[in-house]
Amino acid sequence: MTNKIIKDLSIQVNLSGLSFCILNRSENNKIEYSNAITFGEKLTPFQTLNRLKEELASNTIFSDDFNNIKIIHHNELSTLVPESLYDEPNNAEYLKFNSKILKTDFIASDKIESLDSVNVYVPYVNINNYIFDTFGVFTYTHASSVFIDAINLINDNEEKCVYINIEGNTMQVVVNSSNAFDFYNYFEFTSPEDFIYYILFTFEQLQLNPEKTHVKLSGTVDEDDDLFKIAYKYIRHVSLVDGHKLFLIKNSF
């Protein structure tokens, strides 16, 4: 008897790039394929869809049978609402305070169990429609929901810690401790100077001490990057998320 092969495909969609991951659950969650593509400029949703079509058509690995397909929408169009205050008909009202949205935008939401909160966001509907036409049933979520859940899972520090996930020229910032969740935001940057500005701005707003508060980086960054070096110049405690915890974050996407 041949054991059934169980594979999951996840695709993260950003107007600045695409990320793909194929997880073989039949082989102890082995990552069979992982690839990140940076466009070099911010595209429109229509252009991003065309790039996605090109990538899926250019590699036969995407012709495999997948048990689960997940699309992760990575953009700035999201906001957190305490579950006790959440009312779905008000989704547009929640978003319009910190995001520029159109009347025609479709608005979705994710429940974040670890925070007793709801993440309200705008997915790329054209991407969702194409994935459904190509693969059939799938699930989708927002990148901030995934990152927040992952950090709440791995952070056991009693002191506040700043987690920053970098994807191309975007950064997600979470500030929390094992006892409380304080902050989430999304920034786009064009230079290391922009990058450190947003970090120091976050420190200032939350009254964090650059000499004491730890910053942990994940995503498309390593210790030789200019981003790591400039962060280390202004903040005493900067490090990459350690290997096991990094796997948990990546496995969440």
Question: Quick one: which of 54, 96, 59, 64 has its CA closest to 78?
Answer: 96
Q: State the angle between helix axes of 125-135 and 45-58 in degrees (0 to 180), rounded to the nearest 10.
A: 30
Given a contact cutoff of 8 angstroms between Cβ atoms, the answer to whether 5 and 30 are in contact is no
Residue numbers in the chain where pLDDT is lower than 50:
1, 244, 247-248, 253
pTM, full prediction: 0.89
- Per-residue pLDDT tens over the stretch 193-206: 999 999 999 999 99
Q: What is the pLDDT of residue 162?
A: 95
Residues 6 or more apart from 11 whose CB is under 8 A from it?
18, 19, 20, 21, 52, 69, 70, 71, 72, 131
Other Cβ atoms less than 10 A from the Cβ of 231: the count is 23
Alpha-carbon distance of 226 to 230, in angstroms, equals: 6
Take residue 48 and report the two structure tokens written for it. 């991003």
Residue 96's Cα: distance from chain center in Å?
21
Distances (CA, A) of 195 to 49, 172, 191: 28, 11, 6
Check residue 4 and report its DSSP letter.
P
Q: What are phi and psi of 135, to 5 degrees?
A: -115, -20
Q: What is the pLDDT of residue 244?
A: 42
Q: What is the pLDDT of residue 27?
A: 76
H-helix segments, 136-189: 143-154
DSSP assignments along 69-89, one per residue? EEEEE-SS-EEEEEGGG--GG
Take residue 189 and report the two structure tokens written for it. 């940057």
Q: What is the pLDDT of residue 243?
A: 53
Q: What is the pLDDT of residue 3?
A: 65
Tokens 């950064």 sit at which residue? Answer: 171
